[in-house]
Every structure is written in structure tokens, then in C-alpha cells.
Structure 1
């Protein structure tokens, strides 16, 4: 597993993975959306001689107390309230200069009133103030919309047409029977933006067996889609710990399947 310790390496890698490629390269894409009180140390290493595919993490914040040696930590500017923006610049520069960070995330579900709650123009103005200064120092992610945010994202991209946006994070939540809807959602954003896509939250609603069957199809789709650069299943957060056994740190069967299924397979480590 190739690991980069500086932003130059990350920028070089991202540049080489153009979404116009005719074939997907086998680079690990899996990550963890993990609140700091949720243990994630056992997602690294190997399981039955299969290396972990997890190589990045984030926590809906701009700093963390549980950086893992096997994962790049990606800071997020969750929203524009003062308690986010006041610490943003110092934290982002710290992780770029000292923590091996090569990517930054912006604004969590701004189309929703109970989340970042920004109009497309407000988000574009905030982007220019808080994200644009990091151009050339890290790869920059657009605001992360859920699967109700297509129109919002389209309007944001028009309002921020001069912004330096390297990739587009999205979310998806729906029933486990709608895996084809998940694929269509991802592909629609790839077509809309012409940029690499990260799926920074996604979860199929259903039993553990239902979610396992969903991942058997979703993981190969994501790994083999050259537009998709990274993804993180929603299962290491305060309100969803389905990737952990009894709240961790041990992994559940679903967690083992997610972390240790070989690249391009969702069947688990055999």
C-alpha cells in the first residue's frame, strides 16, 4: 500500500488519477467517518493475510485526537459558525504542514436546515474566504451534499465557477434494495461536475445482513469506478456503529467485510 507523507505526494497522485482514464487504477479508496470518541484502531493492519483497504479518516471537524498511523486525516470546515471558522485556518495549516494531510473538506450538507444550512451563494462566498487560500497546498473538496442536493450543488458550482475545486464529496442514504439508485446517484455527480467524487457518507438502511449484501455490490462498483477517488461507509459515528462489535474497538463482521475485502471485492476476506 503506497502511503504519502506530504502534500506533494498527494497532489501528484490525485493528478495522475484523472477521471477520464479508460481503466480504474487499484488505489485504496476506503475510509472512516469517525467521531473522536469512537475507536477505529483495529481498521488497520491485516486480517487472514488480507491487508486493510482503509487509508483515510475524517471526523466532521478540523482537528482530531485519534489520528491513525494507517490513515490520512482530512480536516473539514463543517460550517460557517464562529466556532468552526475561528479555528479553521490554524488547524488546517497544522495538518497540512505537520500531519501528512493533502486534502480538505468543506461544509456538511449545506442544503439542509439542520446541517450547515447555506445557500449556494453563501457557500461560494464562504468558500472564497476560507477554502480558496489553500489552493495549491492541498486538494480541496466542494461542500458535501446528500442525495437531496443535486440542484443545490449545481447552483453552487455556478456561483463558485472561479473557485479551485478539486473534488466533490457527496452522501447517500436509502433502503438496502436501492443499490442501483446509489450507483446512479454517484454517476450523476460524476457527469455533472467532471471532477473526482468522494462518497464521504453512505449507508443502506436494513438489517446487518441487508447491509452486508449491499456492500457486496457497492464496493466493487466504487473500487472499479475511475471517477470515485474515496468513500466511507457510515458505521463509525456516534449514531451508527455498525462497523464495530459492541461499540469497539473490535470490528463487527460488517466492519471486517468493509475494511478487509480485497480491492474490487465486497465479499470479505476469504
Structure 2
């Protein structure tokens, strides 16, 4: 059993067990390699971790966890990403237990991978299509400003073998219904399963905790949603960790150990 240094007093300190735990949890971690994530496995007070996948916006990692599938990502089309892509992706598919691949981070934004829908479709055929039959393949991951971009990409890549659609969501903690509408709109647009690979509610720790009380059950119970990762184990957001880790924060405990379909964490 992993050991945790838990800070008590969070508003959502009591766990509520779901009637039946799902056999394939959806929760994951978007974690840079310098962020310690090993305590997100194991169990706490009799509740098993719901975290079973990880990614790091890169195509290889130095901190693969035994409890999680590592999912390589081709962040963008610059040579520092593409020159190592095939070697790394094949390594993790053949030797690392990976079964999924992610492509192109927020291409609709100039500060991110910055691709037009047509450029992304052309690159997807070059760098993702060769893995058809070897892995489940994700579309480019747009944030919640990217509906039109994604719609154009899916048209430009209508001949592509895309298995799932990753998306992001960032908004105020009072707008949980907006998250639900965003996810459902992409499910309807693409007709594919959705991965919510980044999402975060802006607000205090208690605000975010209350947000997760509603968001986690929605995501767990939505058949269109295959996986999700709260944004809290990245270099610019460590809200799931206590003082930079490795101990989990109360919010991290809530996210990790709330039973499937429940947004409440153990005390």
C-alpha cells in the first residue's frame, strides 16, 4: 500500500462508495517527467486508485508507472518531435504495453502546435496512419475554443482511421454544465469516443473540489467518454500534489480514490 501525507480539512473529505465499481477506470495523469506521480497508484482506506493511464506531451517517458498505461504523443510537426516519433512510438507499442497514440496539442492555438486543419490532416496521414491496426489513434486535441477547427479537420481527414477524439476544457468552477455541454457536443460531432486529456476548473481548492464532485460522476457515467485527466500534475499546475509531491494533496486524493461514479474522496 502506498503511503500518503494527507492534509485534512478539505470540504469534500468524506468518501461515497458507488454501487458498483467499473472494471476499467477512466482517470489518468497529464504529467511532465519532473513531476513525481508514483503515489497515484495503490489504495487508500480500502479504496483502490482509479488512475490507470498517463501521458507527458512527449513520445517517451522516464517515469512509466506500473499501474498506468503510458500513451505517447506527437505534440507537433517540428523536427524535434517528428524525428524521434516513429522509434519512440513503436518502442512503446512493442515493448512498453502501450495501445494508444495521441497527436498534435491544441493546433488551433498559435502558441501551441499551431496547424491549420489541412496541415494537421496531411501530417496525421504521414505520422499517425502508419500505426493503423497496431494502436488506437487519436485526433488532434483541441481546447474548448476549437470546435470549428476540429470540424474542419474531421472533414479534411475524412479518409483517416481516427479511433477517438481528445479534447481539453478550461473554465470557471461554476460552469460544470459547460463542461458537460462541450463533451457532449464533441461526441455528437465526431461520432467517436472522447478523451478529455486536459481539464481544469478555475477557482480555489475548495471550488475545484466541489467542481469534481459533479464532473467525475458525469465523466465516469458517460459512455462516450473513454478517458480523462485533470490538469494538476504539470509544471505549471500541481494542484493534485502537496508542495510539489510526491505526497498527494487532498484534491489529489479526491481525484484518485473517489470510487467510480463518485466525486468524493477519502479523508
1:148 paired residue among 140, 145, 148 = 145
Shift of 1:26: 4.8
Distance in 2, matches of 1:26 and 1:248, equals: 28
Is 1:41 the counterpart of 2:50? The answer is: no
Q: Are positions 1:242 and 2:251 aligned together? A: no
Kindly report which structure 2 residues correspond to 1:213-228, keeping only aligned pairs within 5 A, or say none: 213-228=210-225
The TM-score normalised by the length of structure 1 is: 0.90
* 8 Å contact kept, 1:26–1:223: no
Is residue 85 from structure 1 mapped to residue 85 from structure 2 by the alignment? no
Deviations 1:51-84 (A, max 9, x none): 0000000000000000000000000000000000
Task: Supply the distance in 2 between the matched residues of 1:267 and 1:101 (Cα, whole angstroms).
Answer: 30
Gaps in structure 2 of 5+ consecutive residues: 1-20
Structure 1, residues 203-226: CA drift from partner, whole Å, max 9, x if none? 000000000000000000000000
Which structure would you say has the larger RCO, counting Cα contacts within 8 Å and 6 or more residues apart? 2
- SS of 1:62's partner is coil
Contact 1:26/1:263, CA 8 A, preserved across alignment: no
Provide Cα deviations, 1:142-184, integer angstroms capped at 9, x if missing partner: 0000000000000000000000000000000000000000000
Unaligned runs of 5+ in 1: 1-23
Match of 2:186 among 184, 189, 193: 189
Match of 2:258 in 1: 261
Q: CA deviation at 1:94?
A: 0.1
RMSD over equivalenced CA pairs, Å: 1.0
Q: CA deviation at 1:25?
A: 6.0
- 1:204 paired with 2:201, answer yes
Task: Confirm whether residue 107 of structure 1 aligns to residue 91 of structure 2.
Answer: no
1:182-211 per-residue CA deviation (whole Å, 9 max, x = no partner) reads 000000000000000000000000000000
Task: Note the C-alpha offset of 1:122.
Answer: 0.1
Tell me how many residue pairs correspond in the alignment. Answer: 247
SS in 2 for 1:215: helix
**Residue matched to 1:7:** none
Instruction: Give the secondary structure class of the aligned counterpart of 1:180.
Output: helix
Whole-Å Cα distance in 2 between the matches of residues 129 and 267 of structure 1?
A: 43
Alignment match, 2:4 = none
- Where in structure 1 do 4 or more consecutive aligned residues deviate above 3 Å? none
